[in-house]
C-alpha cells in the first residue's frame, strides 16, 4: 500500500531533550516536506527536500533540523525542544516538484513540557 | 511571499444543502490551487485542484472556480452529506505543483443532520 509513515504518532517530552520524528515513504517520491499544524494557523512548512542530499528551509524552520540521506526517509530533528514546538506535525511527499499532489502521513502529536 | 486568506473559519450547513468556501491569494504569479480535506485524526488529502489556465473544474459533487483577475478561488460542495464534515484547506503555489504551497488557515465544515 502506498503510504507515508511517521513515528512516533504521539510523544510527550520535556524541554531540551533531543528527539527525532521519522518519516518514510514507499512511493519513490523525490519531494518531501514537513509541516506543523496549529489551531488558527493552518499548515506551515518547516523544511522541504527536492531530492537526496538537497534540503531547504520553509516558513518556520527555527529550532528544527532535517536530513535526506536516502530517498525514502526524511527525519525531523528537534535538538533542544521548547514548549512552543508543541504541535501536530505532518510529513508529506510528492512525485516531483511540478507535480501537484502532496501525500500526507497521519501526523505526529508532540507535547513539550 | 504568498499570503492565502480563507473564509469562513467555521461553516455549518444542513445535510443536502450546498457549502461554499472562499480563498484569496496575494501573488499574481501563483498558478496552482489545490484543495485538501482533513478528516479527524488523519492527514490532509487532495480532493480537487485547478491550474491558472482553467476557470472551473468539477468532480461529482465538488467544484472549484478561479478568478485570476480578483485573485480569488472557491470550493463548492453540493448535496452535502455527513461524510463531508471535515477541515478543508485551500493552497496556492507559483511553482506549479506541491513545491512552494502556501496554505490557508482552514475551514471546519459541519454538516447538520
Per-residue model confidence as pLDDT tens digits over A53-107: 999 999 999 999 999 999 999 999 999 999 999 999 999 999 875 677 899 999 9
Confidence band, pLDDT 50/70/90 cuts, at residue B7: very high
Number of H helices, E strands in chain B: 0, 11
Flag if A43 and B42 touch (Cβ within 8 Å): no
- Give, in order, the Cα–Cα distances in Å from B63 to each of A95, B18, B66, B69: 25, 11, 10, 19
Which residues fall within 8 angstroms of residue B19, CB to CB, at 6 or more apart? Answer: B11, B13, B76, B77, B80, B84, B109
Flag if B43 and A90 touch (Cβ within 8 Å): yes
Confidence band, pLDDT 50/70/90 cuts, at residue B1: confident
- Per-residue pLDDT at A108: 98
Flag if A100 and B103 touch (Cβ within 8 Å): no
B41 to chain A: which residues are within 8 Å by CB? 106-107
Flag if B34 and A31 touch (Cβ within 8 Å): no
B106 to chain A: which residues are within 8 Å by CB? 42-43
> How far apart, in whole angstroms, are the C-alpha atoms of residue B72 and residue A113?
41
Amino acid at each position: 500500500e502506498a503510504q507515508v509513515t511517521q513515528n512516533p504518532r504521539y510523544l510527550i517530552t520535556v524541554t531540551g531533550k533531543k528527539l527525532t520524528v521519522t518519516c518514510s515513504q514507499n512511493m519513490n517520491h523525490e519531494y518531501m516536506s514537513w509541516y506543523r499544524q496549529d489551531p488558527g494557523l493552518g499548515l506551515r512548512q518547516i523544511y522541504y527536500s527536492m531530492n537526496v542530499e538537497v534540503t531547504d528551509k520553509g516558513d518556520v524552520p527555527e529550532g528544527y533540523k532535517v536530513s535526506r540521506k536516502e530517498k525514502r526517509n526524511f527525519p525531523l530533528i528537534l535538538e533542544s525542544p521548547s514548549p512552543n514546538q508543541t504541535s501536530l506535525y505532518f510529513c508529506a511527499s510528492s512525485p516531483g516538484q511540478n507535480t501537484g499532489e502532496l501525500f500526507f502521513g497521519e501526523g505526529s502529536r508532540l507535547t513539550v513540557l | 511571499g504568498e499570503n492565502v486568506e480563507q473564509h469562513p473559519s467555521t461553516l455549518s450547513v444542513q445535510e443536502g444543502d450546498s457549502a461554499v468556501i472562499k480563498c484569496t491569494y496575494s501573488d499574481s504569479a501563483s498558478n496552482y490551487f489545490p484543495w485538501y480535506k482533513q478528516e479527524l485524526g488523519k492527514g490532509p488529502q487532495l480532493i480537487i485542484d485547478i491550474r491558472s489556465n482553467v476557470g472551473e473544474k468539477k468532480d461529482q459533487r465538488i467544484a472549484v472556480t478561479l478568478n485570476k483577475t480578483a485573485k480569488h478561488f472557491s470550493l463548492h460542495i453540493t448535496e452535502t452529506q455527513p461524510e463531508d464534515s471535515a477541515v478543508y484547506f485551500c493552497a496556492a503555489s507559483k511553482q506549479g505543483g506541491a513545491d512552494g504551497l502556501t496554505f490557508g488557515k482552514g475551514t471546519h465544515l459541519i454538516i447538520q443532520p
